[in-house]
Structure 1
């Protein structure tokens, strides 16, 4: 009896395999009509796919958009940092170009003027108080560099003031634009009829011009005449450029003339300066004895 059941199971297995192979072969047959079970299964599968396909596609698209946004954000951060670096580099290039132009101007002014008799000490402004913008500036050179009190100070364009005080490594410069009547400078105006001497002893805030009291009132002075240091004051060397005549007016009493001088230097924009020290000629003892004889 058990043997009979075993044989029966084998027969059923073989029959099932044969039917399965037949169905597979039948399903691969071309140009045939689907049976109703196949149609049912196919329709069911299609309905399930259509129901779950759109949500699955939406979810996949959502995560893809999120990834794209993250990638875009990272790219924007990189581009922003590169743009900031570029702007900083561009600003630095402009600063270097301006500094280069100013240094060229200093070299040009030194070549144009006869500064061979002067000792030139170069310095840079490191402090400028907004409350005293037109009065005082601090320079990064002091007595250890050879700077002395009352030494003339100029930029590449012209005279700006004198040394007010010094320390070992720094100095304070009093500008010509400082409203101080005691800040006098002996100057001369070069006219067609010769030099006209006077004293610069003030500054007009409205005109942004120096006030020069003319000693010789009978000389004709024209607009644009050059003004330089005369060297007679005992402090400033001779021939340092100050500016040019803007206009000439009689003083409040009508006894003398006041010339308003447009400064050659830009008092608002001062960065690099030159300390000018006049080298006094020395007389050797042998020469002195010869002169006495």
Structure 2
């Protein structure tokens, strides 16, 4: 019982001391204010530590938020760039197709009286070049043997066989193919032939060059209209190089076809009645 009384007394005394101390420290002029300062200094330092830590944490959170914002902006910019690149690619594709259609219309005016049918390339032989390939038009579309095949750039080749819904096309660079041609600047008759070695490079050979013909690099070679297969005036290609053998009779030229036979997706078939068997005039067109 005495123990509890003594304990209560101690608590009462301590409480009175704290009350008196607080009352004295409220007055800044009080001589007892040093006691309040003694108590407040450690707590002030602790408060500064927590304040600084809070500021650093807030700065870190803000930096993290900024990084996330930058990432989002970067992603949006990349998506916008991809979109613009896709639109540019589509624009170039459409412009190319539009230019090709314009050239095809010009070709149609040039070849008045000849019907044309567009066809898509659906298969080709192995390798990078379109020596022999299939298109998605056949007998049901009025396509038949020996019909010429062109693009807006020039001559591709001819139909070598036709099925109900597809046709096989043999290009001018295929070994064994041939076309009667003329040198555009002079009108001299020549022959363009496919060559096994040159065909691997996408090139063909020009033969039977007249001795007095000054054939130079860049000269344009066109179909002559002779032979019964290819109409006159279709560009075959240009002279890339003139080579001379042991005699003038061995002179020949390397022809760069006007049509890029490494990149071919669409062609135009000229629907004119072609001979099924070679005539006497058809000594070169094969």
Deviation at 1:135, TM superposition (A): 1.0
Let me know the Cα RMSD of the aligned residues. 3.6
3-state SS of paired residue (1:148): coil
Match 1:197 to one of 171, 189, 208:
189
Change (3 A) 1:132 1:42: closer
Q: 1:131 aligns to what SS in structure 2?
A: coil
Match of 2:75 in 1: 77
Q: Secondary structure, in 3 states, of the residue corresponding to 2:170?
A: strand
Which position in structure 2 is the counterpart of 1:124? 120
**Residue number in structure 2 paired with 1:175:** 171
Matched, 1:276 2:279: no
Deviation for aligned residue 1:266? 2.9
**Cα deviations across residues 70-107 of structure 1 (Å, max 9, x unaligned)?**
33333333333333333223322222223323333323
Quick check: 1:142–1:167 contact (8 Å CA) kept in 2? yes
Are 2:165 and 1:165 aligned? no
Name the count of aligned residue pairs: 252
Tell me the TM-score normalized by structure 2. 0.69
Equivalent residue, structure 2, for 1:184? 178
Q: Does 1:91 align with 2:84?
A: no
Instruction: Give the deviation of 1:159 after TM superposition.
Output: 0.9
Any conservation in 1 of the 2:125–2:131 contact (CA below 8 Å)?
no
Provide structure 2 residue ranges, at least 5 long, that are not aligned to the other structure.
1-15, 275-286
1:46 Cα deviation after fit:
1.1
Give the ranges of 4+ consecutive aligned residues of structure 1 lying more than 6 Å apart after TM superposition. Answer: none
Segments of structure 1 that go 5 or more residues without pairing to the other structure are 1-15, 281-293
Instruction: State the Cα distance separating 1:240 from its structure 2 match.
Output: 2.6
Distance, in Å, in 2 between the alignment partners of 1:177 and 1:263 is 8
Work out which of the two has the higher radius of gyration on C-alpha atoms and give 1 or 2.
1
Residues 102, 156 of structure 1: 8 Å contact kept = yes
